[in-house]
Amino acid sequence: MCIALPKVSSLHIFSERPCGSIPAVANAAFEGRSKEKYEPGETVRYQCHEGFQVTGPPEIFCRRGNWSTPPICEAACTTSEEDMDRNNIELKWSGERKLYLKSGDFVEFDCKIGYVQDPASSPFRVQCMDGTLEYPRCKPGSKSPPLCHCLAAALVHF
């Protein structure tokens, strides 16, 4: 049995082409020296400036004359000890005084002992947006003991 193969008149071979200069990324620098031309397979690594967090892979690579998608450096949020003290709050789930958050991340606060939530305060679950946190506020006061403690104490006295 014979199988006829089609005649190939021309082969289209995709040759790897070099890439031009690397794309600029706001709030970042790249490691190494800048070149006019990068060979296929070469990679470049970006480093976000202080106060910024990388979103996406920090490295890009050259393939078929094009760069892969570069990362984004977004402003990070840092919880401030001074701001927390000014608002009489502390981090809810951590004993830390400083916390770094990526844009879009959430953090929860709670009132310090001897303080209660200010009714005019923003929510106590806060989202980092472009390097900004809106801190909730607490005012002097004491929390009422939970109802179950009061009932248990009343039952003991009978």
User: 128 in a domain, yes or no?
Assistant: yes
Which three-class secondary structure state does DSSP give residue 117?
strand
Q: What is the CATH number of the domain that holds 41?
A: 2.10.70.10
* pLDDT tens figures, 64-86: 999 999 999 999 898 989 999 99
CA torsion through residues 25, 29, 32, 33, sign: positive
Task: Give the model's confidence band at 138: pLDDT under 50 very low, under 70 low, under 90 confident, else very high.
Answer: very high
Rounded distance between C-alpha atoms, residue 19 and residue 13, angstroms: 18
**Overall number of domains in the chain:** 2
Domain of 108?
A: 77-140
The pTM assigned to this predicted structure is 0.59
- Whether residue 90 lies inside any domain: the answer is yes
Cα–Cα distance between 9 and 33 in angstroms, integer? 44
**Same structural domain for residues 121 and 86?**
yes
Do 126 and 133 meet the contact criterion of CB atoms below 8 Å apart? yes
Which SS3 state, helix, strand or coil, does residue 103 take? Answer: coil
Dump pLDDT digits (tens) for 88-136: 999 998 877 788 888 889 999 999 999 999 999 999 999 998 889 999 9
Q: Is residue 153 part of a domain?
A: no
d(CA 98, CA 93): 12
